[in-house]
């Protein structure tokens, strides 16, 4: 899944969970049943998971272009600078 696909999956998940929360609260209120509210919300969470968790093709519309290994060898990795200064403690 590419970066834009991850963002899309996150947005879809947030919207779907909010919609199912509102719908399940409404259904539970109208029917007067806490159990029905929880079942509708659980179904919404399951549907949301089935849509957003798998790596569907529409989440891969913007693939990353990686550097060729032969090109990567021409550019050395940056080295971490180690500071040799030591703090002196005053007594």
Claim: this prediction has a pTM higher than 0.75: no
Position with higher pLDDT, 70 vs 21? 21
DSSP line for 19-86 = HHHHHHHHHHHHHT-HHHHHHHHHHHHHHHHHHHSS--GGG-SS---PPPHHHHHHSPPPPPP-----
Residue linked to tokens 């021409």: 74
In which domain, by residue range, is 36 found?
1-53
* Domain count for the chain: 1
Each residue of 21-63: pLDDT tens digit? 999 999 999 999 999 999 999 999 999 999 999 888 888 888 8
Quick check: is 71 in a domain? no
Which pLDDT score is estimated for 71?
76
Residue 86: pLDDT band (50, 70, 90) is low
Which is nearest to 39 in space by CA: 52, 49, 53, 25?
25
In a domain, 4, yes or no: yes
Other Cβ atoms closer than 10 A to 45: 16
Taking only the tens place, the pLDDT of each residue in 10-29 is 999 999 999 999 999 999 99
């Amino acid at each position: 899944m590419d970066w834009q696909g991850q963002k899309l999956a996150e947005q879809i998940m947030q919207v779907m969970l909010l919609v199912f929360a509102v719908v399940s609260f409404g259904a539970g209120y109208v029917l007067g049943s806490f159990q029905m509210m929880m079942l509708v919300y659980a179904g919404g969470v399951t549907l949301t998971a089935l849509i957003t968790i798998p790596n569907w093709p529409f989440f891969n519309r913007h693939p990353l272009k990686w550097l060729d290994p032969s090109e990567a060898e021409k550019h050395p990795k940056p080295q971490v600078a180690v500071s040799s200064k030591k703090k002196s403690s005053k007594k």
